[in-house]
């Protein structure tokens, strides 16, 4: 992409950016919360592009000014200063252009949202449930390292430990879904199970599904379309367990979707959490269409696509974890399972950025 074309693309967004700024200070817009939230989101998306564009424009102007001095100035001292400035500026331009190209590619509109994560034990019986518990602890430690808040919504413990299923929400200020979306898929473990008496290595699996949390204005959800059922909690909660109807099950009648929450002692809190999750799952039905649309265009998939695909193998005898999407391996499995998964996510983001740049250039 030629320099002037790249600059034109960025500067063409300046008018839209200014219009959004003007609207955000308009009292009439501020009274329309749904519109205000959307404009604020658009502003945050455009701001880094406009800022990078101005920096890029100034750099090009400074480079041209230095070249003019070198071409027209006879004073050798000034010419030497111009040469030094050119030598300093020119190496910066390719990196800045690469950054702007990435910024100009529309990001996943849900990257900035919080995430709902669901882990299910798959093939492997009790061992699969134990592995699902290991994955939950891995994400628990990762969330702590990122300063995120983790709230369990629902869980079904395994008979020998771990979870047959566990659902939890991750919330933070730094785009939780944009990080966690790379974890969606089937995770496979190869090890000697705790339940194995003869020391044989077995393969088990657990599936991870990561959804962007739906905001208040993302889904028009009415209580008129929901059936509410109350039942006794079977999870943690002390003496209140199985004696009070604090657990909540919500059924969305038009779609048939069902969610439940029993982690809080308060029926009201469980009801609120279940409502949030139901809204998110309804939103995810539309979000999956968006993911499928991207998948149809891409030859390789990094952060989106078929949730039934095996994305990662955890090989305990070799102490190795391998992400099959990018052929990345790490030979320090205990550290990875303790929540140190950022390096893998960084590599997945780099691969996805390369994919997006290639698509933009085609």
SS3 for 161? strand
160 and 203 both lie in a single domain:
yes
**Which of 76, 104, 132 lies at the terminal end of a domain, its last residue?**
104
Chain centre distance of CA 208: 13
Our CA dihedral for 45, 46, 52, 57, rounded to 10 degrees, sits at: 170
198 and 305 both lie in a single domain:
yes
139 and 187 both lie in a single domain:
yes
Length of the chain: 362
**Which of 104, 138, 171 lies at the terminal end of a domain, its last residue?**
104
205 and 307 both lie in a single domain:
yes
CA count, 13 A, side-chain hemisphere, 39 = 20
Instruction: Tell me the range of 43-57, 144-158, 185-199, 298-312 where mean pLDDT is highest.
Output: 144-158
Is residue 110, in this structure, part of any structural domain at all? Answer: no
228 and 80 both lie in a single domain:
no
CATH number at residue 232: 3.30.160.20
What's the total number of domains in the chain? 3
Is pLDDT at 53 greater than 80 in this prediction? yes
**Which of 285, 309, 338 lies at the terminal end of a domain, its last residue?**
285
Is pLDDT at 61 greater than 80 in this prediction? yes
User: What are the angstrom distances between the C-alpha of 269 and each of 192, 220, 236, 259?
Assistant: 41, 21, 15, 14
328 and 273 both lie in a single domain:
no
Q: What pLDDT, on a 0 to 100 scale, did the predictor assign at position 91?
A: 93
**Is the CB of residue 150 less than 8 Å from the CB of residue 217?**
no
**Please, is 159 exposed, middle or buried when counting C-beta atoms within 10 Å of its C-beta (0-12, 13-18, 19+)?**
exposed
The mean pLDDT of 340-356, rounded to a whole number, is: 90
Domain containing residue 163: 115-213+299-361
CA gap 194, 285 in Å, rounded: 37
Between helices 3-11 and 92-104, what is the axis angle to 10°? 40
Model confidence pLDDT, tens digit, residues 150-204 = 999 888 999 889 999 999 999 998 789 999 999 999 999 999 887 666 778 889 9
Is residue 109, in this structure, part of any structural domain at all? Answer: no
Chain centre distance of CA 77: 53
CA gap 325, 290 in Å, rounded: 20
**Which pTM does this prediction carry?**
0.69
Structure tokens at 231: 């039942």
CATH number at residue 85: 1.20.58
Q: What pLDDT, on a 0 to 100 scale, did the predictor assign at position 316?
A: 96
Other beta carbons within 10 angstroms of residue 95's beta carbon come to 9
Confidence band (pLDDT; 50, 70, 90) for 42? confident
Q: What are phi and psi of 315, to 5 degrees?
A: -100, 105
Is residue 293, in this structure, part of any structural domain at all? Answer: no
265 and 305 both lie in a single domain:
no
Confidence band (pLDDT; 50, 70, 90) for 330? very high
Is pLDDT at 236 greater than 60 in this prediction? no
CA gap 350, 332 in Å, rounded: 21
Q: What mean pLDDT value characterizes the chain?
A: 84
Confidence band (pLDDT; 50, 70, 90) for 237? very low
Q: What pLDDT, on a 0 to 100 scale, did the predictor assign at position 31?
A: 80
203 and 304 both lie in a single domain:
yes
276 and 183 both lie in a single domain:
no
Is residue 290, in this structure, part of any structural domain at all? Answer: no
40 and 182 both lie in a single domain:
no
Is pLDDT at 328 greater than 90 in this prediction? yes
207 and 153 both lie in a single domain:
yes
198 and 324 both lie in a single domain:
yes
């Amino acid at each position: 992409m030629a320099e002037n074309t790249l600059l034109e693309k960025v500067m063409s967004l300046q008018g839209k950016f200014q219009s959004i700024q003007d609207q955000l200070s308009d009292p009439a817009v501020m009274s329309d919360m749904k519109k205000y939230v959307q404009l604020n989101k658009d502003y945050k998306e455009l701001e880094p592009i406009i800022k990078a564009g101005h920096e890029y424009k100034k750099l090009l102007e400074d480079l041209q000014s230095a070249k003019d001095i070198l071409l027209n100035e006879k004073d050798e001292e000034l010419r030497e200063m111009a040469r030094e400035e050119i030598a300093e500026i020119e190496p910066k331009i390719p990196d800045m252009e690469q950054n702007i190209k990435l910024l100009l590619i529309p990001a996943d509109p849900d990257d900035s949202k919080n995430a709902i994560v669901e882990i299910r034990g798959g093939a492997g019986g009790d061992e699969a449930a134990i592995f699902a518990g290991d994955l939950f602890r891995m994400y628990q430690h990762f969330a702590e390292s990122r300063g995120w808040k983790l709230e369990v919504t629902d869980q079904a413990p395994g008979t020998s430990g771990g979870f047959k299923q566990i659902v939890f929400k991750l919330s933070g200020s730094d785009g939780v879904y944009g990080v966690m979306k790379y974890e969606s898929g089937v995770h496979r473990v190869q090890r000697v199970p705790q339940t194995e008496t003869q020391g044989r290595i077995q393969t088990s699996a657990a599936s991870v599904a990561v959804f962007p949390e739906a905001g208040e204005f993302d889904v028009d959800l009415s209580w008129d379309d929901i059936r509410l059922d109350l039942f006794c909690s079977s999870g943690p909660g002390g003496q209140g367990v199985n004696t009070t109807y604090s657990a909540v099950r919500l059924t969305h009648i038009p779609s048939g979707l069902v969610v439940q929450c029993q982690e809080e002692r308060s029926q009201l809190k469980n009801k609120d959490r279940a409502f949030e999750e139901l809204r998110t799952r309804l939103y995810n039905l539309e979000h999956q269409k968006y993911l499928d649309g991207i998948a149809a265009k891409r030859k390789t998939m990094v952060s989106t696509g078929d949730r039934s695909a095996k994305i990662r193998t955890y090989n305990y005898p070799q102490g190795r974890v391998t992400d099959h999407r990018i052929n990345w391996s790490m030979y320090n499995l205990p550290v990875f399972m303790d929540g140190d998964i950022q390096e893998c996510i960084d590599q997945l983001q780099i691969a996805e950025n390369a994919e997006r740049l290639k698509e933009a250039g085609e």
